[in-house]
């Protein structure tokens, strides 16, 4: 394998993605240390605190059960802002279209973007469109960037997990990745698996009154829950221990993963968040999540059990303990 070439796995969100960032991109473009690499940048402009984030979407296929590339692009950037505790305000949208792409399909995508933005309470305020020759793109790619208002003085970031903290997820994991996979491969899955793509800013707003007990928020997209928790463990210098029997997994997702040899911990999500909270407030946080429509299946799935150089492990169903590392390679390419 030629180390001088970009591989598909460099876009997985896992180990290769992090290597590309740390060895090439960040040294050239930024000085942000690992501990400061979060879902959005925090800016202070004239005393006004803002969050700023950008993301690009290359999902294949562009239409899948429960959604499409358009609403995915809106929800994804809204969620990145929300993970900093910000109130999303406005978005930009950039399109790269392939010559010959259907205007009817574009109209469907645009309508879904408008609806998703209205649901999230954000405005689309600027954008750009480019067209590349047929065969030089793949139908449509979308970039969205967003700005949000940070209206609190809390420290919510990946470096703030503390020993004793509880880890809560707001629902079943792996739905998005399996929904996209089923559409891509034409799998006949009679289980109603649909993407979980949704704007999570409402869930986050309901958690902010927890105050300083709310330590970390992160949405486990590419690389899944496992990779996201590994990132947090590295940033915070802690050991995270998961409880396998507590993981909420749709039976259909569990079945597909079992058949195809996939681990749900590494399957992408687009409407899930991980909240790491102080133990004394964990039950309250769980109750708050469960009162929200996007958190009715929320569960405590683990805790921060010690300090380390960034270790994640899981207590298994058979009573053992196994290590959990970042996604290696590319499990499901072009998932978002």
- 198 & 237 share domain: yes
Give yes or no: residues 274 and 173 share one domain.
Answer: yes
Residues 124 and 254 in one domain: no
Query: Are the C-beta atoms of residues 267 and 257 closer than 8 Å to each other?
Result: yes
Q: Answer whether 315's CB lies under 8 Å from 321's CB.
A: yes
Question: Domain ends where: 90, 121, 149?
Answer: 149
| Domain final residue, candidates 149, 180, 208 | 149
Q: Residue 230: phi, psi to the nearest 5?
A: -65, -40
Please give the full DSSP string across 10-59, using - where no structure is assigned.
GGSSSHHHHHHIIIIIHHHH----GGG--SSEEEEETTEEEEEEEEEE--
What pLDDT was estimated at residue 84? 98
What pLDDT digit, counting tens, does each position of 287-333 carry?
999 999 999 999 999 999 999 999 999 999 999 999 999 988 777 88
- Structural domain for 213, as ranges: 166-323
Contact partners, residue 267, CB within 8 Å, separation at least 6:
173, 174, 176, 177, 178, 224, 253, 257, 331, 332
Q: Are residues 131 and 176 in the same domain?
A: no
Q: Which of 116, 149, 182 is the last residue of a domain?
A: 149
In the 8-state DSSP scheme, what is residue 327? Answer: P
Residues 194 and 269 reside in one and the same domain: yes
Q: How far is CA 292 from CA 13, 85, 130, 299, in A?
A: 28, 17, 39, 13
The DSSP secondary-structure symbol of 185 reads H
User: Is residue 100 located within the same domain as residue 234?
Assistant: no
Q: What is the CATH number of the domain that holds 63?
A: 3.30.1330.10
pLDDT at 190: 63
What's the confidence (pLDDT) of residue 261? 92
Listed in sequence order, the residues at least 6 apart from 8 whose beta carbon sits closer than 8 Å to its beta carbon are 330, 333
Count of the separate structural domains present in the chain: 2
pTM over 0.85: yes
CA dist 114 and 71 (Å) reads 8
Same domain, 144 and 187: no
Residues in the chain: 336
Nearest to 270 by CA among 187, 171, 168: 171
Whether 183 and 275 have beta carbons less than 8 Å apart is answered as: no
Residues in the chain where the model's pLDDT stays below 70: 1-2, 189-191
CA atoms of 184 and 310, how far apart (whole Å): 35
Q: Which residue has the tokens 């296929």?
A: 61
Residue with tokens 């399109």: 95
Q: What's the rounded Cα separation, in Å, for the pair 313 and 332?
A: 23
């Amino acid at each position: 394998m030629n180390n001088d070439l970009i591989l598909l796995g460099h876009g997985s969100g896992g180990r290769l993605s992090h290597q590309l960032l740390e060895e090439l991109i960040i040294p050239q473009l930024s000085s942000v240390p690992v501990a400061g690499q979060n879902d959005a940048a925090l800016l202070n402009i004239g005393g006004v605190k803002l969050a700023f984030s950008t993301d690009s979407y290359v999902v294949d296929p562009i239409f899948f059960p429960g959604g499409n590339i358009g609403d995915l692009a809106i929800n994804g950037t809204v969620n990145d802002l929300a993970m900093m505790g910000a109130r999303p305000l406005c978005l930009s949208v950039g399109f790269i279209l392939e010559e010959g792409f259907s205007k009817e399909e574009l109209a469907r995508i645009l309508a879904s973007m408008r609806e998703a933005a209205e649901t999230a309470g954000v405005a689309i305020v600027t954008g750009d469109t480019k067209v590349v020759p047929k065969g030089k793109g793949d139908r449509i790619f979308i970039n969205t960037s967003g700005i949000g208002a940070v209206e609190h003085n809390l420290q919510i970031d990946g470096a703030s997990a503390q020993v004793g903290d509880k880890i809560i997820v707001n629902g079943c994991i792996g739905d998005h990745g399996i929904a996209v996979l089923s559409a891509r491969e034409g799998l006949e899955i009679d289980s109603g698996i649909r993407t979980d793509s949704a704007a999570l800013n409402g869930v986050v707003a309901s958690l902010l009154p927890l105050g300083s007990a709310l330590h970390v928020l992160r949405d486990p997209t590419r690389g899944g829950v496992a990779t996201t928790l590994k990132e947090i463990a590295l940033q915070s210098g802690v050991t995270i221990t998961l409880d396998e029997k507590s993981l909420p997994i749709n039976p259909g997702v569990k079945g597909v993963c079992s058949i195809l040899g996939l681990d749900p911990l590494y399957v992408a999500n687009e409407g899930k968040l991980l909240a790491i909270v102080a133990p004394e407030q964990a039950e309250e946080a769980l109750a708050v999540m469960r009162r929200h429509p996007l958190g009715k299946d929320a569960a405590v799935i683990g805790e921060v059990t010690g300090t380390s150089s960034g270790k994640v492990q899981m207590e298994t169903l058979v009573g053992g303990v196994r290590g959990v590392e970042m996604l290696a390679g590319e499990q499901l390419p072009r998932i978002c």
